[in-house]
């Protein structure tokens, strides 16, 4: 497939019936050389998941879902070039790392753009769609967690307006490594 610009791709929320593509893109992301810095699961763990898991994931983060929204960049041929997901975290709950959630916010996860589309503006286009959705449903801020050694991702997040909050999170299974919280306040 020839490399496309972000203008050649449609950014849209996923649909429940997209589950096979959700699975394929996630497995591709977990094969990336930097996957160990970007994702908390391994390729092997994801590959072992049942079709029912992927169906539930797509239904929960697709059009009509209220707890999350996954956006993809889709070419005219149906090929997905990248994705980003926003999870809704409600005030008064506890996040995945055990920290209290103090206000209604979004948590960006699963950021991935295929290598042949990197540098094209696609990640920005995906983030723009995700943030538009987050602000549209009344989230007060959006955050993400990034590995301390993932400098490329940190650079993009800073360009997108995210700033370090000062919160650090020990990496599950490797407490000597740290992840950093970046936040973007609603403007």
Task: List the structure tokens of 13.
Answer: 């929320």
Average pLDDT of the residues in 159-185 = 90
CB of 3 closer than 8 Å to CB of 115: no
How far is 90 from 41, CA to CA, in rounded Å? 24
Q: How far apart are CA 61 and CA 114, in angstroms?
A: 20
Q: Does the pLDDT value for residue 3 go beyond 50?
A: no
pTM for this prediction:
0.92
Is pLDDT of 156 > 80? yes
pLDDT digits (tens, 9 = 90+) for 75-134: 999 999 999 999 999 999 998 888 899 999 999 999 999 999 999 999 999 999 999 999
pLDDT digits (tens, 9 = 90+) for 45-81: 999 999 999 999 999 999 888 899 999 999 999 999 9
Q: Which of 19, 25, 174 is nearest to 114 (CA)?
A: 25
């Amino acid at each position: 497939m020839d490399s496309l610009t972000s203008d050649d791709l449609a950014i849209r929320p996923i649909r429940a019936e997209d589950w096979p593509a959700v699975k394929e893109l996630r497995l591709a992301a977990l094969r990336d050389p930097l996957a160990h810095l970007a994702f908390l699961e391994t390729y092997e763990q994801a590959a072992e998941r049942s079709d029912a898991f992927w169906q539930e994931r797509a239904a929960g983060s697709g059009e009509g879902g209220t707890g999350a929204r996954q956006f993809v960049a889709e070419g005219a041929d149906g090929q997905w070039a990248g994705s980003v997901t926003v999870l809704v975290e409600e005030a008064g709950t506890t996040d995945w790392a055990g920290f209290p959630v103090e206000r209604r916010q979004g948590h960006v996860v699963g950021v991935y753009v295929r290598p042949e589309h990197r540098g094209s503006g696609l990640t920005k286009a995906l983030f723009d769609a995700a943030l538009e959705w987050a602000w549209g449903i009344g989230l007060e801020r959006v955050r993400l967690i990034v590995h301390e050694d993932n400098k490329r991702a940190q650079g993009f997040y800073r360009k997108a307006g995210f700033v370090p909050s000062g919160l650090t999170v020990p990496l599950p299974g490797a407490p000597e490594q740290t992840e950093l919280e970046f936040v973007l306040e609603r403007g």
